[in-house]
Structure 1
Amino acid sequence: MDIREITIADEHAGPYGITAGPDGALWLTLTHAGRIARLDPGGGDLRTFDLGAPGCRPALITAGPDGALWFTRTGDDRIGRITTGGRLSVHPLPTAGCGPYGITAGPDGALWFTEMNADRVGRLTPAGELSEVPLPAAGAFASAITTGPDGALWCTLNRANAVARITTGGAVTLHELPTPAAGPVGITATADALWCVEIGAGQVARITPDGAVTEFALPDRAARPHAIVAAGDGCWLTEWGANRVAHITADGAVTEHDLPTPASEPHGLAVGPDGGLWVALELGRVAVMNHAR
């Protein structure tokens, strides 16, 4: 497997979330620098955009239904929007300290996001209309969120040891994970299931839309898997604690790949418009694997 790294910031900037944009570029959050970065996967051209709030801690980022990029600002309780031309705007959230984190484009033309510290999931239209759905679990620490193959939203509840299914009408169903203290974080969807990583258990879980859960142990149970993305015949995930990325097939077979730079702290990952797998490394770099399945 060919893996190369590209420096995009200093070692303190903290590349964290990453997504493919509608303009053929990779868009990243620089969580410690309060900036957004745009990287051309072909020529390597890099632009960064200052959010004007060094402590806003941009976290996860997604392409929106309006052709812009949307991201959470965990440090100052806002949802950010940036056009592909670099124009910035923000949407403040009503609850101080709610800690928005995960974000995804929903099937209803809105952005859906988690509020880690408020036990809620939020819905924001591109026009700025905001509503919130309470989760039936106190201290759940809602984390990543994605749209499932059933047209509902699914998010991980890190401290409740469960995943939640939320319809676009706001009905919530919880599905507990079999392993105690598994600590689910990243979540993604394939054509027939949801897949989430269990950072506390060193496992990957597959959840069907009706809530049936199958767990697959990673070869290194101390790997601390963090983010996951569907790709081809399975999913790719970052092993934050082991400085690796791994691929898991639909039947649970795992292949692991060491990253070139020690202690690079891999976090978010995305399949780029070039078909490569792009990984945000908190050390100030991105890694690209040119033969993603």
Structure 2
Amino acid sequence: MSVSEYAVGDGPYGVAIAGAEVWTTLVHTGRVATRSGRVFDLGAPESRPSVIVDGPDDAVWFTRSGDDRLGRIGYDGVVSAVEVAGSPYGLCVGPDGALWCTLMSGDALGRVTVDGEVSTYPIGTTSAFPAMITSYGGELWFTLNQGNAIGRMTLGGEVTTCPLPTESAGPVGISAGAGGVWFVEILADRAGRITADGKVEEFGLPAGSKPHAVAATADGGCWITLWAAGSLARLDAEGNIVQEVALGDGSEPHGLALDQDSVWVALESGSLAHFEG
């Protein structure tokens, strides 16, 4: 078991594995960096690049919540952006091959094709603060941070909302897995899982740990970043914590990505952490 760190700059937030490289957004400086040392300046210091994913077109895509855009960097290094109003934050590749994002201030989801065509779909509620998003079962699933619920939307825009059992839980991260969709509740120190038929289970995490991001594993469990605890936790398919990895006081782990038997984590303190174990 070992943890390696790679300094990448100020404020790593999201992380993605794409094109034989590890990418991270630098939320405080308007840049995107790679583990190997490449840095892409977006020319917009206040753009707040946040969640980043491997796109369907030999490129990484990422949300720019500070200036209402989705950014794109091709594996060839070409940087571009598409305007999407509403403070885009969460991001995933949908079952239709388009990029889908949450619009925090717009109470909507945005859909962006690789050709730059933009559509928006209301989520049917106001001031719910849609956060992270994932694709599962041919639909889009997303956390409603202020709505205390999990939402799901068909490709046609039909929305279903499932309230969470714990009040004021503050759901943030979400990830599709083998037996359902995992999510984390940053204000309640819990992880949760929701099945296709709407059944919700919740699992306790260390008090005060403030879970932020989650990535489902092939065995039915998941990895979770514990932001306030400065650590990484692994849950099995029954929701039991089977492993916890210390990342250091003040490390502030945010996004994570899985690479076979290892985990990459963006530490807002200034580095990418790579855990192999």
TM-score range (shorter-chain normalised) is: over 0.9
Of residues 2, 27, 33, the one that matches 1:31 is 27
Q: Report the AA paired with residue 2 of structure 1.
A: S
- Structure 1 residue 261: deviation in Å? 2.7
- Verify the 8 A CA contact 1:264 1:282 in the aligned structure 2: yes
- Structure 1 residue 135: deviation in Å? 1.0
Measured in 1, the distance between the counterparts of 2:34 and 2:3 equals 20
- Structure 1 residue 221: deviation in Å? 2.3
Corresponding position of 1:4: 4
- Verify the 8 A CA contact 2:8 2:34 in the aligned structure 1: no
1:254 aligns with 2:217: no
1:118 aligns with 2:114: no
Structure 1: gaps of 5 or more residues: 40-44
- Verify the 8 A CA contact 1:163 1:174 in the aligned structure 2: yes
Of residues 15, 19, 23, the one that matches 1:18 is 15
The aligned runs of 1:209-288 (5 Å cut-off) are 209-218=196-205, 220-233=206-219, 234-272=221-259, 275-288=261-274
Measured in 2, the distance between the counterparts of 1:215 and 1:261 equals 27
Superposed CA RMSD: 1.1
The aligned runs of 1:37-186 (5 Å cut-off) are 37-39=33-35, 45-93=36-84, 95=85, 98-148=86-136, 150-186=137-173
- Verify the 8 A CA contact 1:244 1:256 in the aligned structure 2: no
1:189 aligns with 2:176: yes
- Verify the 8 A CA contact 2:144 2:151 in the aligned structure 1: yes
Measured in 1, the distance between the counterparts of 2:240 and 2:248 equals 25
- Verify the 8 A CA contact 2:232 2:247 in the aligned structure 1: no
Aligned pair count reads 276
- Verify the 8 A CA contact 1:20 1:26 in the aligned structure 2: yes
Q: Map Cα deviations across residues 106-161 of structure 1 (whole Å, 9 max, x no partner).
A: 0101000001111000001101111111011110000000001x111100000000
Measured in 2, the distance between the counterparts of 1:80 and 1:260 equals 29
> Residues 170, 6 of structure 1: CA spacing in aligned structure 2 closer, same or farther, 3 A cutoff?
same
Q: Report the AA paired with residue 133 of structure 1.
A: Y
- Structure 1 residue 86: deviation in Å? 1.2
Instruction: Decide which structure has greater strand share.
Output: 2
Question: Per the alignment, in what secondary structure is the counterpart of residue 28 of structure 1?
Answer: strand
- Structure 1 residue 257: deviation in Å? 2.5
Measured in 2, the distance between the counterparts of 1:191 and 1:231 equals 8
Segments of 4+ moved more than 4 angstroms:
none
Measured in 2, the distance between the counterparts of 1:275 and 1:133 equals 37
- Structure 1 residue 260: deviation in Å? 4.1
Share of identical aligned residues, percent?
47
Measured in 1, the distance between the counterparts of 2:250 and 2:135 equals 32
Q: Map Cα deviations across residues 263-283 of structure 1 (whole Å, 9 max, x no partner).
A: 1100000013x6410000000
Q: Map Cα deviations across residues 27-62 of structure 1 (whole Å, 9 max, x no partner).
A: 1101101111122xxxxx210100000110000001
